Copies of this chain bind each other. A is one copy, B any other.
Amino acid sequence: MRNGSVPDIVVRRLPLYLRTLRQLQREGHRTISSEELAQLLGVTAAQIRRDLSFFGRFGKQGYGYAVAALIHELEVVLHLDRLWNVALVGYGKLGQAIAHYGEFEPNGFRITAIFAKSPEHIGQIVNGIVVLPETEIDRVVREQGIRIGIIAVPLNAAQEVADKLVAGGVRAILNYAPTVLHVPPGITVREIDPISALQSMTFYLHDRHDASRNGQDEQSFADIMKRSPAGKRPAAH
């Protein structure tokens, strides 16, 4: 298994492949071709084959990929053949929603430490763990050997929290705060930013008068049903 230097954009696609493969496995598929997988994902078959080839030769000519085997390979590549402990910082509305989100646990992540600033939250027990003050971040993250942090604090506190997480040993941060975090080299950050996502989509929407025009420059329902894969690059208008 090569690994030299895989482009980050490839790494980001692997979880999507994994997710779809697991779905296929649940549905009883034993095998899949790059072409079929590509259809499901709305990408090209060549891209899937190229992406996977960074890590090994997992397919069989004239046959495709064995679903279970490919799932396993991806889990190994992504280090998902284990459970990762995660620290959550922030226990306001957003932090609470994250703490109770049921999808982390079955996908390889367990929140094992929660930190809050507000005295009203500190001391609460959530999923069997006690909400601690943010001053404890360094100690607890270090003691538990936590490598992944989730930031769900307000804008102004986010950088400070990131610093504390990194000081404690965190090397990957999922950032829900609407700000760019500055971190040392070697630390990975991914943003969750629904506002920016919405704001970039409105670029492709016409102005308010659209709302009242009906049927005219609208696509017909028949047109609409010629569905294509969800484009990262939306139609040119």
List CB contacts (< 8 Å) of A168-198 with chain B. Answer: 169, 171-172, 174-175, 178-190, 192-198
Residues of B within 8 A of A93 (CB): 97, 100-102
Q: Please state if A200 and B15 are interface contacts (CB–CB under 8 Å).
A: yes
Q: Which partner residue on chain B sits nearest A138 by CB separation?
A: B221
Question: Which of A28-36, A44-52, A60-68, A76-84 is near enough to bind chain B?
Answer: A76-84
Say whether A125 faces chain B, with CB atoms less than 8 Å apart.
no
Q: Which partner residue on chain B sits nearest A197 by CB separation?
A: B190
A195 to B182, CA, bound (A): 22
List CB contacts (< 8 Å) of A76-104 with chain B. Answer: 77-80, 82, 84-86, 93-94, 97-98, 100-104
Q: Please state if A174 and B198 are interface contacts (CB–CB under 8 Å).
A: yes
A16 to B147, CA, bound (A): 27
Say whether A119 faces chain B, with CB atoms less than 8 Å apart.
no
A140 to chain B, nearest CB (A): 13
Q: Which partner residue on chain B sits nearest A166 by CB separation?
A: B224
Interchain CB contact (< 8 A) of A97 among B97, B142, B145 = B97
Say whether A127 faces chain B, with CB atoms less than 8 Å apart.
no
Residues of B within 8 A of A172 (CB): 198, 201-202, 204-205
Q: Please state if B199 and A107 are interface contacts (CB–CB under 8 Å).
A: yes
Say whether A24 faces chain B, with CB atoms less than 8 Å apart.
no
Q: Please state if B200 and A40 are interface contacts (CB–CB under 8 Å).
A: no
Q: Which partner residue on chain B sits nearest A162 by CB separation?
A: B230
- Residues of A in contact with B (beta carbons under 8 Å apart): 5-8, 11-12, 14-16, 18-20, 23, 40-42, 77-80, 82, 84-86, 93-94, 97-98, 100-104, 107-109, 142, 144-148, 166-167, 169, 171-172, 174-175, 178-190, 192-208, 210-212, 214, 218-219, 221, 223-237
The 6 closest A-B pairs by CB, nearest first: A145-B211, A97-B97, A15-B199, A172-B201, A188-B234, A15-B196
What are 13 contact pairs spanning A and B, CB under 8 A? A7-B233, A80-B199, A82-B207, A103-B195, A107-B198, A145-B214, A148-B201, A172-B201, A183-B228, A184-B228, A185-B228, A185-B231, A192-B192
